[in-house]
Amino acid sequence: MSEPRVWVLDAYRAGERTQLRALATALGWPCEIKSLRYRRFGLASALFLRNDLWGVDLTGSDPLRAPWPDLVLSIGMRNEPVARWIRDQSGGRTRLVFLGRQWADPHHFDLIITTPQYPVPERANVLRNALPLHGVTRARLDEAAALWAPRLAHLPRPYLTVNIGGTSGPYAFGPNAAARLMRDTMTLARARGGSLLISSSARTPACAIDAFAVQTDVPMQLYRWRRDDPENPYLGFLALADEVIVTADSISMLSEAHATGRPVHMFDISAGRSSMRHDMLCAAGEMHAARALAEADPDRPDHALGASAYRALMRYGWSYLSRDISRMHLRLVRSGRAVWLGDPSPRPRDGDAPGDMARAITAIRALIPRG
């Protein structure tokens, strides 16, 4: 019996690309990754629910031609018309699986795999997981630990791993957030008496990583993100962590930190009424606590035009266009998967349960008839 033919319409954002490729790997079927380049005004195809390649720069993209796949995995609004076009070319035989949030109604796809941050409507073909999918498995962590342990042996334990994101949605990350991250991380590091393993990402502002670069109070290993760097220690730092601090703008990084089984601390990149904790309490319906938190917070938030516009969209616009990561923060805190940095530390756990990925794989395999 031959294996199904799988195409992955690759994501155009790094975090989404990680989720998509992790799913393809876990599925275990041979797959072809199709990298696409998009035309400047190519979103029109998705907005008007067309099934075509009008939004794709075909000269700069991987070829899309027969034999057509049995299954397409993808993510991102720009890829929706392409996936539907492929299904049309196959005579309706190709099954479409989308991750995250799609523009079209779910009935245009065979399966949607999403998380609570997205307002995807309830449908029979919608699978709502607790956290984003990722490829941080115990085997990969053990391999990374074996590689990086000798390189970090000069640093005293325990290791406090710090993963830094950046501005995201309604939350701006600037000098004020960088100063608070430095202050709160150093407070915990001094209490632990160990070392810092710090890594930045593509979105990290220079002020955040520069603040750590000049500190000399705590031993550390610091990594400045570089594109396609084979020596990126991100996974090694996670594998060796005794505790993890993650800026809470990145649900993907929080999901990967949770997979280690180590205590996870979320850093709130904003403050006052625009803080993540304030939004989380509002999502929980705890309005009195939210107001009290905002009034008692002495810290100042950073401001960015894009973040302000996003917050206005969430409040006054069509909510389906935005995402609300406060729902994810609420679940992480209530389930004991994470705490806010500065709150009492959570207990170590056994690691990431395979439930989300296993459910996704089961649902996908059910789509493909096997003769």
- Looking at the structure of the chain, the number of domains it has is 2
Same domain as 158, residue 192 = yes
Same domain as 127, residue 164 = no
CB atoms within 10 A of CB 149: 12
Same domain as 186, residue 256 = yes
Same domain as 160, residue 112 = no
Residues of the domain holding 62: 6-133+356-365
Same domain as 173, residue 278 = yes
> How wide is the angle at C-alpha 199 spanned by C-alphas 195 and 203, nearest 5°?
150
Same domain as 181, residue 302 = yes
What is the C-alpha radius of gyration for the chain, rounded to an integer number of angstroms?
21
Same domain as 318, residue 196 = yes
Q: Is 196 helix (H, G, I), strand (E, B) or coil?
A: strand
Give 340's strand partners. 266
- pTM of the predicted model as reported, rounded to 2 decimal places: 0.88
For residue 294, tell me if it sits in a domain.
yes
Same domain as 144, residue 114 = no
> How wide is the angle at C-alpha 286 spanned by C-alphas 282 and 290, nearest 5°?
65
> What pLDDT tens digit does each residue of the chain (371 aa) get?
688 999 999 988 877 888 999 999 999 999 999 999 999 887 888 888 899 999 999 999 999 999 999 999 999 999 999 999 999 999 999 999 999 988 899 999 999 999 988 889 899 999 999 889 998 999 999 999 999 999 999 999 999 999 999 998 889 999 999 999 999 999 999 999 999 999 999 999 999 999 999 999 999 999 999 988 999 999 999 999 999 999 999 999 999 999 999 999 999 999 999 999 999 999 899 999 999 999 999 999 998 887 877 777 666 665 555 678 998 999 999 988 899 999 988 766 655 555 899 999 999 999 997 65
The CATH number of residue 252's host domain is 3.40.50
For residue 1, tell me if it sits in a domain.
no
For residue 49, tell me if it sits in a domain.
yes
Same domain as 279, residue 156 = yes
Please give the Cα distance from 232 to 169 (Å, whole number). 26
